[in-house]
Amino acid sequence: MSLRQAQETVDQWIKTYGVRYFSELTNMAILTEEVGEVARIMARRYGDQSNKNGESDALADELADVLWVLICLANQTGVDLSEAFRRNMAKKTARDSTRHINNPKLYESEQK
């Protein structure tokens, strides 16, 4: 599924089942909450914390929740994510084409 198709799918779902989009500010708060859930899973899976009893460890589902709300915000604000992502990749490529390749810090772990 392309980003454009994802945006259309979310919009159709909202129109069919969701009544309307939550306000942009509400969706921003929800996005923050969902990113926090991803952070919790990452801290427990890759960090030093352990899961609490009954706590979910569904990283894929939480990442999909982040994407869902991000798509809602894009739809609400008129952002074409396909075009925005294309421009963003071009910007990163122009700006960082040699930056990471020439960063010795990125090679330090290979030498340990």
- pLDDT at position 111 is 61
pLDDT in tens, 54-103: 888 899 999 999 999 999 999 999 999 999 999 999 999 999 999 999 99
Cβ neighbours for 6, distance < 8 A, ≥ 6 positions apart: 67, 71, 81
Contact 69, 21 (CB under 8 A): no
- pLDDT of 84: 98
Look up the pTM and report it.
Answer: 0.88
Q: 30: which 2 tokens?
A: 């929800």
What local confidence, expressed as pLDDT, does residue 56 receive? 83
Question: Mean pLDDT over all residues of the chain?
Answer: 94
Contact partners, residue 39, CB within 8 Å, separation at least 6: none
